[in-house]
Structure 1
Amino acid sequence: MSDDENESRRDLRMPNDDEVFAVVTNMLGANRIRVRCADGVERTARIPGRMQKRIWIREDDVVLVEPWDWQDEKADVSWRYEKSEADQLRREGHIQ
């Protein structure tokens, strides 16, 4: 790797055992979004209160979601990646 690549590479937050990568496909309102998860499932995700005012989530953003144990078609958003971080994840092959 060149120095430029090493310099631009950052250590990113990776998913825990119960989290998956997802891409926001649709804004539903009422703090809910539609996401397409890396495991192939389309889910309705909830933006928790601690993120609502601090982090702005838009369509095509890459996020980490935590699917619910008792209802697989729903999830909670646990992290949002910046555009540059999402590009790095794509380059490294973590997401499509």
Structure 2
Amino acid sequence: MPKNKGKGGKNRKRGKNEADDERRELIFKEDGQEYGQIQRMLGNGRCEAACIDGVTRLCHIRGKMHKKVWISSGDVVLLGLRDFQDDVILKYMPDEARLLKAYGELPENFRLNEGVNVLEEEDDAPDDDYVEFEDEDIDRI
């Protein structure tokens, strides 16, 4: 039988926590960077982000974050703007995104989903999810 030369398999890699409990310093944008919100994931390490300046950009998730930081639609990110490719530099946690909005970095009309799809429904509003047919309408069909 061959010797075990490695230090373990995929479970060893899965058990690593990159100091999730620590609070990190809030990073603001600099020249050549922009805040954005992920609209949709496109696959192959790419996503579509709506930026603060009103432009929708096709972004690339950089290799340092690939398979380590999971990005989903609705997340607030920091984008590095370059001539040939826009990169996702940093993903903000929900509390960091709220702080950015409080500091005035994000506009007031910027909606923070915080990773949860919340359907806002009013109790008084009628349900418009279905169409109701009369008997004579069904006969014509």
Confirm or deny a common fold (TM above 0.5). Answer: yes
1:36-68 superposed Cα distances (whole Å, 9 cap, x missing partner): 011111000000111012111111111000122
More helix by proportion, 1 or 2? 1
SS in 1 for 2:64: helix
CA–CA separation in structure 2 for the residues paired with 1:16 and 1:93: 15
- TM-score normalised over the length of structure 2: 0.56
Alignment RMSD: 1.5
Aligned counterpart for 1:86 among listed residues 90, 97, 108: 97
Identity %: 36
Task: Describe how 1:1-12 pairs up with structure 2 within 5 A.
Answer: 11-12=25-26
Scaled by the length of structure 1, what TM-score is found?
0.80
Structure 2 residue runs without a partner (length 5+): 1-23, 111-141
Q: CA deviation at 1:11?
A: 4.6
Give the aligned residue type for 1:86: A
What residue ranges of structure 1 are gaps of 5+ in the alignment?
A: 1-9
The aligned counterpart of 2:61 is 47
Choose 1 or 2 for highest CA Rg: 2
Report matched runs for 1:1-96 at 5 Å.
Answer: 11-70=25-84, 74-95=85-106, 96=110
